[in-house]
C-alpha cells in the first residue's frame, strides 16, 4: 500500500497518511509524498479544497525515530535534507491557494501536531490528543514551534513544548488549536462539510483571502491595513476576469 492515499470527493481532495503500523510516523518517504500530494492538489484545476487525515488508529505520531540512527553529524547532507523537508512540510498549508481542513482522528504528536494545527481549519475527534513530546526525548520541538506560537498564547505554547504533556480534544479546543471537536463517527463528515462549503467559493477570492490572512497575521497593524488595501484594489479585477 502507498504511504499516502489519495481520493476525491467531488471537488475535495482527501489525503490520508497511510503508515498505520507506525501510527503514520513521518519518515522521508511519507513526508515527500505528503508534500507532493498537497502541492499537486493545489495545482489541480478540479480540486477546490483539501482534507488531510491519518489511517487509524492515529493521525500522525510525528517524526519516525527509526530514521534518527542515520541522521548523524557525519551524514550532513542527509541531515540538512531532512530538516529542510520538515520545514517545507510544516509550512506548506499556509502557502497553498486552496483551503486545507485537517481531520484529527487520533494522536497527533510532534510533527503530527504541527500538521494537525497547520491546516486552515482543524476538526478533532473527541478521543484524540495533541502533544509536543520532543523535550522528553532530549530533543526540541523546533520547526513546529513557529506555527504553535502563532496559534496560541505564549504561556500555553510554552507549557506544551516545555512539559511535553499532551492535551485532550477539549483542552485543544479551549486553547484555540482546533475549530471543532466531534465524536469519532462524525469526524470525516464534519471535515468534509467544511471543505465542501469552501470548495464552492470563487477560487480567486479564496486564494486572495488565504494570502492576506497569513500576511496580516504577522504584520504590524498599519502594514496589515495596507496589505488589505492592496487586496481590496485587486478584488476589482476578479469580476472582470470571469
134 is catalytic: yes
* Residue position matching grid coordinates 478540479: 46
Cα–Cα dist 91/145, whole Å:
11
The answer to whether the peptide bond before residue 116 is cis (omega within 30 degrees of 0) is no
Give the DSSP letter string of 68-125: GGG-SGGGHHHHHHHHHHHHHHHHHHHH-SS-EEEEE-S-EETHHHHHHHHSSEEEEE
C-alpha cell at 145: 514551534
**What is the maximum alpha-carbon separation in the chain?**
57
State the helix-helix crossing angle for 28-43 and 76-95, rounded to 10 degrees.
30
Which position among 21, 76, 80, 134 bears the catalytic label?
Answer: 134
169: which residues sit within 8 A by CB, 6+ positions away?
124, 125, 126, 127, 128, 129, 178, 181
Q: Which residues are catalytic?
A: 134
Amino acid at each position: 500500500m502507498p504511504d499516502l492515499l489519495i481520493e476525491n470527493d467531488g471537488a475535495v481532495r482527501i489525503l490520508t497518511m497511510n503508515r498505520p503500523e507506525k501510527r503514520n510516523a513521518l519518515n522521508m518517504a511519507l513526508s515527500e509524498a505528503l508534500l507532493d500530494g498537497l502541492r499537486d492538489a493545489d495545482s489541480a484545476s478540479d480540486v477546490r479544497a483539501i482534507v488531510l487525515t491519518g489511517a487509524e488508529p492515529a493521525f500522525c505520531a510525528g517524526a519516525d525515530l527509526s530514521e534518527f540512527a542515520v541522521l548523524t553529524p557525519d551524514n550532513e547532507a542527509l541531515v540538512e535534507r531532512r530538516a529542510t523537508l520538515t520545514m517545507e512540510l510544516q509550512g506548506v498549508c499556509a502557502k497553498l491557494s486552496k483551503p486545507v481542513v485537517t481531520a484529527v482522528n487520533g494522536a497527533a504528536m510532534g510533527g503530527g501536531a504541527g500538521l494537525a494545527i497547520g491546516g486552515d481549519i482543524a476538526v478533532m475527534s473527541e478521543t484524540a490528543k495533541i502533544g509536543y513530546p520532543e523535550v522528553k526525548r532530549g530533543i526540541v520541538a523546533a520547526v513546529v514551534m513557529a506555527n504553535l506560537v502563532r496559534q496560541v498564547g505564549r504561556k500555553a505554547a510554552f507549557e506544551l513544548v516545555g512539559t511535553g504533556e499532551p492535551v485532550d480534544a477539549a483542552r485543544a479546543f479551549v486553547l484555540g488549536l482546533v475549530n471543532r471537536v466531534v465524536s469519532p463517527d462524525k469526524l470525516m463528515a464534519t471535515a468534509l462539510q467544511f471543505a465542501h462549503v469552501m470548495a464552492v467559493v470563487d477560487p480567486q477570492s479564496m486564494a486572495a483571502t488565504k494570502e492576506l490572512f497569513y500576511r496580516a497575521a504577522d504584520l504590524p497593524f498599519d502594514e496589515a491595513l495596507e496589505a488589505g488595501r492592496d487586496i481590496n484594489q485587486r478584488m476589482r479585477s476578479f469580476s472582470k476576469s470571469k
